[in-house]
Amino acid sequence: MPGRLVLPILLLTPVATWCYHQVQTDDPYITFRYARNLLDGEGLVYNAGQWVLGTTAPLHAMLLAAGGLLTTDLPLLTSLVNGAALAVLAWLLARLMAIAGEASAGALAALLVVTNPLMGDAFGFELNLFLALTLGGVVAYFSDRPQLAALLLALGTLTRGDGAVPAVLVFFHHLWVRRSFPVWPALIYGAVCGGWGLLAWTTYGTPFPNTLAAKRAMGDSGLWRPFWYGALRMPYLYLQQTPLFLWFGPVALFGLVRLRRNDERLWLVLFWTGIVFAAYAAMRIPAASNYYAAMVPSLMIVVALGVIELAERVVARTGTRRFAVVVAVVTLPLVIAQAIPVIDRVATNPDARYRTYRATGEWLAANTPATASVGLVEIGMVGYFSNRPVVDVCGLVEPAVAAHLAGGDTSWPLRHFRPDYILLHDPVWDLEADAKAAPWFTAEYEPVCTFAGEEPYKLALYRRR
């Protein structure tokens, strides 16, 4: 029965894809611009001629560039890739839990992952592809296919650097359990990741994405919410939408009780999530919904185990034979709770900033020289639709910014590079205030126009005199 339930759950992914495609956030458009520049022959760069790896997802960008041969609508292409990856992720989660002897919980975990609102908030990112590749590697490893596991884990690492965590866990698990060195898997993983690392080193001067230093600088500046705070704030925000999310708490507690009786295969996935969480918090990475979405599969493993554990206890105590009915009753509030934010997002999206940022980018594309540089904070959508050289206040695509941003000098990029145009929010955000109040800004820049939008995304454009 559990295996037959997985197929109808997977059939939900086209519906989820349609819903989640409506959610347009800013950062994925940075990777879209990398992909478009690669497709246009400029190389894997954000600003033409500036070799900076400002995307955390190089493999994702390259796949989008390949898909760009078929369609120029990269946001739609990304959603289709994400939808397919979400279906694969759900199936892999069910498969992993079946291997661990928890097939019924696996079907439930697949359902809860597909319908989780955080997966929708991260839909434009590389997350689903990353999770499908890395979890695929874990499942392949536990299915005694070590070479395939190594290849999938390597591709996952190229999609997102923290894919190295599950790879290391699998490696040490192999050493501990099988008491042998996995020669061929190690060679495969090393060849793929080492090959990319060498290419990145010769191309960009480092194998690591510049975003890591930029994100740490953002955290050090104190202008962004810290990672741990965001993790605490996320449940609060969901509870504001419906108190049904409270039901996740007691169910998860039953899941932890059941988890104690499970073997190390499920624990490996949970350790992976815990290590990444601790690393992000230790590195002072700022809060972002897509980071927490990466933890959804592990959380839903625990919740799904809790549903089965609670249902079994109810059946044992009451003597009822309607186990499936009890499971449905326990699960229904969880599914409804997750559906409410998804429905709300679909009703209110595109994202509040999307219309304003897209209109601004298209205005710049139509009314400024192709070589005109633009300085701004959120570079994703405006940069993608304007296709103008960008001066990045947050330093994602400019390595020199991090040292100044970490010290709280938010105006340095604009002050140093003096772009042809500067785009500020109206009213200004905290990290824009110093630049707006500086004498050099008043003396050298004049207002051009404003772009209407919902608070706090209204924009004002300034031109260098």
Contacts of 443 (CB under 8 A, 6+ apart): none
Note down pLDDT in tens along the chain; length 465 residues: 466 667 778 888 888 888 888 778 999 999 999 999 999 999 999 999 999 999 999 999 999 999 999 999 999 999 999 999 999 999 999 999 999 999 999 999 999 999 999 998 888 999 999 999 999 999 999 999 999 999 999 999 999 999 999 999 999 999 999 999 999 999 999 999 999 999 999 999 999 999 999 999 999 999 999 999 999 999 999 999 999 999 999 999 999 999 998 877 899 999 999 999 999 999 999 999 899 999 999 999 999 999 999 999 999 999 988 999 999 999 999 999 999 998 888 877 667 899 999 999 999 999 999 999 999 999 999 999 999 999 999 999 999 999 999 999 999 999 999 999 999 999 999 999 999 999 999 999 999 999 999 989 999 999 999
Please name which of 335, 350, 341 lies closest in space to residue 117, comparing C-alpha atoms: 341
Instruction: Please tell me the distance from the alpha carbon of residue 298 to that of residue 134, in angstroms, as a whole number.
Output: 13
CA-wise closest residue to 334 among 255, 236, 249, 269: 249
Question: Cα–Cα distance between 180 and 146 in angstroms, integer?
Answer: 13
Helix (H, G, I), strand (E, B) or coil at 447: strand
> Alpha-carbon distance 129 to 58, whole Å?
12
Q: What is the largest CA-CA distance in the chain?
A: 81
Tell me the sheet residues that pair with 248: none
User: How many CB atoms are located within 10 Å of the residue 422 CB?
Assistant: 25
Task: Supply the DSSP string of 144-197, one letter for each residue.
Answer: T-HHHHHHHHHHHHHH-GGGHHHHHHHHHHHHHHH-S--HHHHHHHHHHHHHHH
Entry pTM: 0.96
Under a CB-based contact definition with an 8 Å cutoff, are residues 258 and 320 in contact? no
Residues 6+ apart with CB under 8 A from 14: 83
Q: What's the half-sphere exposure (Cβ side, CA atoms, 13 Å) at 449? A: 9
